[in-house]
Structure 1
Amino acid sequence: MHIGQQTIAWLHQMLTGGDRALSASLPEGFRWWPNNHAQTIAIVGEERGPEGEAGFLIGVRTEMLRGLVLNDTAAAALNTLVMPFASLSGPVYDPETQTLSLCTLARIYDHIATWMRVLLRAAAWMQAAEAPVWASALAQLLPAQEALAPTSHQESQQQASARHAAFIQELLKVGKHPYWRPIEFQMLHQQFLQRPPVVFATVDRMGVGIEFPFGQKETSLCEILADQPHPRYGYGLFLLQSFPAYDLTEQQGIRLAFELNALELTSQVIGYGFGSYVFRDSTLYFTAFFPNLLYRHDLLANLFFSCAARAQAISLRLTGCPWTEASFRVSRSAIGRMLGRFRGK
């Protein structure tokens, strides 16, 4: 088996207990029922890494609504309620099937599979926890129906509930206090944040603020914080990237957020496909949350590089300006622009 198939097999074992009777096999993965909402985990693409190694895109998708027409009113409601919720997935609308699902997408290579599959398992369980809550509320608010599983899958749901409860219990147990330490943010700053692709960065005890080039003269902001407890999961790493989008109307910005979710969470990994885009106040955001249960000493650095990739892609998408050597001048940072205005430049 290649690394993609091995990852699918591992996820099946961790989630279903390895019981094939509790899932339905698919050509590239499996479909199962952790609760009333079906979840599909499968290889959705293949690519080559920087050194020619085989890589696979693995997606996790949990169904929430069916029969949804995503008009401007529905899109605005989802942008307000669901898309800002920091987690390991985001809502994706499929216009062909008129369904709304929570989706996650990850790129798997041999050298990162061991820890990336742990992130995927967490995303699967967190989707299973979030989907029923969102679906129930949204079905009352929007002209759509909950995407409920047939009663024939009750055995799968009952056996999954104990494993799901154990995962959530452990997640909450380790989420009572911050895990990431001040020295880890200081090390990140020293090792990576004082040179390109960073324009300017600040660090404090429990987080970093990073400016990447955006357009010809501006920057986008990336914040990674460990002292912002999640209302549902406790402490972890909160991630927020902000991209100026002053030329977009509210409707255009919301549609762009849905378009980027569909792209990055189902078919094309730009950074890590854990999280969601949302549009608010003339700004496009990407938000995510990695609970303490996923702590690794090198997760900060890996998140930084994934955020840099997203910042480069979104800058090009929104402004048409590629990064060049001149893009990283400190004068274009927020403080640099402020000093320039003060000096009359």
Structure 2
Amino acid sequence: MVRRALLVLVLLLAGCGQDSPETTKEAPVTFTNPVFAENFPDPGALLVDGTWFAYGTNGPAGNVPVMTSPDLVHWTPAGDAMPSIGRWALPGNTWAPEVIAGGDGRYLLYYTARSAETDRQCLGVAVSDQPGGPFRDGAGKPLVCQAEEGGSIDASPYRDPDGGLWLYWKNDGNAIGQPTYLYGSKLSADGLSLSGESKRLLVNDAAWEAHVIEAPQMVRRDGRLYLFYSANAFDAEAYALGYAVCEGPLGPCRKADENPILSTSPAAAGPGHGFLVEAAGGRTWLLYHAWPPDSIGSVTPGRQLWLDEVVWEDGKPVVRGPTAEPQPMP
């Protein structure tokens, strides 16, 4: 009886430190959309020293709500990146900000606001030595203001591998019953002024785009330039995202035949105003906003922040979304 008890004890000790297959197998780390369930429309993002910064259209958090994240999934509100807008602008309509690192250690924030002179939405640029702000616009007039074309919105900066800075935006033609175009122009080296002719790159001429094309973002991938954009009414299920391939920073650009590449699903309505980012391992992801299907146009919860992977098939971006099921972390 004693020998039998000793044998059992030896076997138990031998098993210590050896986990069963069930205990050694690690569960995959996943996330589920939306990654921020409150209102955060028109996201732009920037990675600085391992921290992601996201900037959104004005709301209760301020002129330029800013959030931070270590992984693109877990976001923490971080206040107002631009407590005071330019003196040329009126408060209350500060839209679609995007930030890029300047060449002098500073950060440049491009934003939309209402011009006191023209009563149209126009573009400004503000500067800070920190990515979270405070950003300040010291100019006495907007950077771009196409009042005769309805105004200018949705500024998006892009830096080419040669160091050149470019700016893309949309004329707000739909505000006055005119066509809407996506424009591009070269920026000065300091990013504070246009240094070349503004050129029209795309117009709302596809059926799915209806009366508006907006929210441009130029991205270089494997030597090719892709101009992402959104179209249709922002507060409708028809709002969606497409892209064009461009021969150079100022075109010519050709829209993809498979557009739109992100559209309404049972889980997310009117997805768009996307911002493409590159995460660890070269994987690309799209931050964008979308409405809950039963709350389109409502203030609460508003346009929530979503994240889905973009894969590249034969040089074409394919958005895996809107995805409401658990998926691997970036």
TM-score (norm 1): 0.22
Considering fraction of residues, name the structure with more helix.
1
Structure with the higher fraction of residues in strand conformation: 2
* TM-score (normalised: structure 2): 0.23
Higher Cα Rg, which structure: 2
